[in-house]
Amino acid sequence: MSTSAEAPVFGNLLADAWVQGSGGDPLEVRDPADLRIVVGRVPSMTPEDVGAAYQAAAAGLEVWRATGPLDRATVLQRAAHLLRRDQQDLAGLIVSEMGKTLAEAGVEVAKTADFFDFYASLARLPQGELLADARPGTRTEVRVEPVGVVLAITPWNDPLLTPARKLAPALAAGNAVVIKPSEESPLITLRLAQVLRDAGLPPGVLGTVTGSSRVLSDALLLDPRVAAVTFTGSTPVGRLLEGRLAGTGVRLQSETGGKNASVVLADADLELAASVVTSAAFAQSGQRCTATSRLVVDASVADAFMELLLDRVSRIVVGPGRDPRTTMGPVVSKAQQRTALEHVVTARDAGARVVHGGRTPTDELLAHGCFVEPTVVDGVTPDMRLWREEVFGPVLAVATCHGLDEAVALVNDSAYGLAAAVFTTSLTASASFVERVDVGQVAVNLPTAGWDVHHPFGGFRDSGSPFKEQGTSGLRFYTRLKTAAVRHEW
């Protein structure tokens, strides 16, 4: 067990140095599987430190935007290589500070490397276009430019992958970035900054800021050097950012909450559906923006399906992520644990039935962690909080329907619009579902999660802004277009 004094102290990347900042006591990062263990400490940065980070970013921007796309791509490719080389070590750090299983963390590192490779590969695509011009002796072109200095605000649940989802396209396009990771899991983001520095990223192009969001908010958002803000987190914070940035000319990309639904129709392969839904709901302890948190089952197959589902859920092994027997780790914090359990109690008091889990594990070895049993709540109705509010934990709300039309209505009965899935053997039903559900990501006989780096990603309504992430679409937020007409004959 490591004490605070024994835990490593991480610094923030500022220009070409690792600094501790001018704030007070460092922030402790604890292992959610055992809160007695301090994994590391990070600086409590001040508003003055944020200003220094932006100053360094503005200087780095001038160097990086003048660097050719192929040379920028080489840096990203080197970063991908270093991530794969150090995959085991990086995965271990994710497990320690966030609580994923080693298998889940290993996949996160691998996919992070894929992001850098993918956006590096786009350097060989056209960087603009020539347009016809009716004026004699005139050539007109469209140039693609970086937007400038970008602020990236990232969450705790995918603490390496989400920064990569933002950094890879931003850097590929020639921007400089200041990144503010979550206070719950900042360590792996600082390691990523080290990887990019070792890969040859020039000084100032990337800066990191750790500390209290409340203390640093104004300095981060209102600096005149900020051209764009990309955020992943809760819907209330996303809405707050919209208000703060309105009228400033700063563009905002937000990927926020979700209340994703999977539908099991009467003709579905129930064995397949049960296995996929179990994974989609409880992998990463349900702490994925695309996790299945609502389940709609046709009444004609509800009993048979629930028997298969509960059998699979009962096989989930809850424990520390480093234990090879573990298939579901803790939630990230005591606050997250309390939130999940409170939602279960509220649903039960409203008349729903807790048919599996709903408590903290009784194993004494897990008593110092933030564990929640995988929980299935049946008989949930649309008027219950559990149907409408995001839990972000291992809690699955189950309702029944009668046919496709009612299923689609239940899926769309949400303020959120991130992801949905349907299980059916009917091409007609699957095509209708894809067309009619009001979400940004739709799957058929697949989980609500699992979108690859080249798949455009993002939701509708309270799940985020119109800007998609990932794929070639992910570059649009980080670029601006300049149209230039040159008269070369007169």
Of the candidates 184, 289, 390, 469, the residue annotated as catalytic is 289
Residues 173 and 193 sit within 8 Å (Cβ to Cβ): no
Residues near 424 by Cβ (< 8 Å), separated by ≥ 6?
A: 265, 267, 268, 430, 433, 444, 445
Tokens at 261, concatenated: 């639904």
What is the C-alpha to C-alpha distance for residues 289 and 280, in angstroms, rounded to an integer?
11
What is the C-alpha to C-alpha distance for residues 168 and 178, in angstroms, rounded to an integer?
13
CA 355 from centroid of its chain's CA atoms = 30
Of the candidates 97, 108, 255, 469, the residue annotated as catalytic is 255
Tokens at 254, concatenated: 């937000």
- Phi, psi of 38, deg, nearest 5: -95, 115
Closest CA to 101 of 391, 371, 375: 371
* Known catalytic residue at 289: yes
Neighbours of 112 (CB within 10 A): 30
Q: What angle do CA 259, 453, 30 make, to 5 degrees?
A: 65
CA 115 from centroid of its chain's CA atoms = 13
Residues 179 and 209 sit within 8 Å (Cβ to Cβ): yes
* Known catalytic residue at 255: yes
Q: Classify the C-alpha dihedral 432-437-438-439 as positive or negative.
A: negative
Neighbours of 483 (CB within 10 A): 10
Please, where are the H alpha helices in 422-487?
427-436
Rg (CA), the chain: 24
Helix (H, G, I), strand (E, B) or coil at 35: strand
Residues 121 and 73 sit within 8 Å (Cβ to Cβ): yes
Helix (H, G, I), strand (E, B) or coil at 325: coil
**Residues that are catalytic:** 255, 289
